[in-house]
């Protein structure tokens, strides 16, 4: 009986606190009218115009003697993950005739890295890009 009464009291206390939070929160969150300047916001909706199609690069006939970039897309922006390093170790062991260059893209996965793309275009024969965690 005492346990049921204690549970009922706890339930009532939580209910009252929840009700108070629900009633008080809207009052605190209401913003006063502002006389400051207004901002224009761009519409984030997708355009109806289709994206330009770009064909895929032709496949290499062999990787032997080629330079392959292993690019960690730095998905979380924390300096990469060990996945691409493991791939590089695999290439070193199983395909020693393939030169691999490991790079972590600057920024995070949505940030552009033009310097890296130019380096790959100039020095690389192929690229493996990875988003891993």
Domain boundaries, the chain: 67-130
What pLDDT, on a 0 to 100 scale, did the predictor assign at position 3? 61
> Looking at the predicted structure, is the pLDDT value of residue 23 above 80?
no
Helix (H, G, I), strand (E, B) or coil at 112: coil
What pLDDT, on a 0 to 100 scale, did the predictor assign at position 12? 60
What pLDDT, on a 0 to 100 scale, did the predictor assign at position 75? 79
Report pTM.
0.59
What pLDDT, on a 0 to 100 scale, did the predictor assign at position 17? 58
pLDDT digits (tens, 9 = 90+) for 58-89: 899 999 999 999 999 887 777 777 888 899 99
| Strand arrangement of the beta sheet that strand 67-72 belongs to | 99-104, 67-72, 126-130
């Amino acid at each position: 009986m005492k346990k049921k009464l204690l549970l009922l009291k706890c339930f009532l206390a939580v209910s009252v606190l929840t009700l108070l939070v629900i009633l008080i929160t809207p009052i605190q969150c209401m913003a006063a009218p502002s006389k400051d300047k207004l901002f224009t916001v761009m519409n984030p909706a997708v355009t109806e115009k289709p994206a330009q199609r770009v064909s895929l690069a032709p496949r290499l006939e062999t990787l032997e003697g080629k330079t392959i970039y292993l690019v960690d897309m730095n998905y979380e922006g924390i300096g990469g993950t060990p996945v691409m390093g493991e791939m590089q170790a695999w290439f070193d062991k199983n395909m020693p005739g393939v030169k691999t260059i490991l790079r972590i893209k600057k920024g995070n996965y949505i940030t552009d890295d033009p310097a890296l793309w130019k380096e790959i275009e100039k020095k690389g024969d192929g690229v493996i890009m990875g988003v891993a965690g």
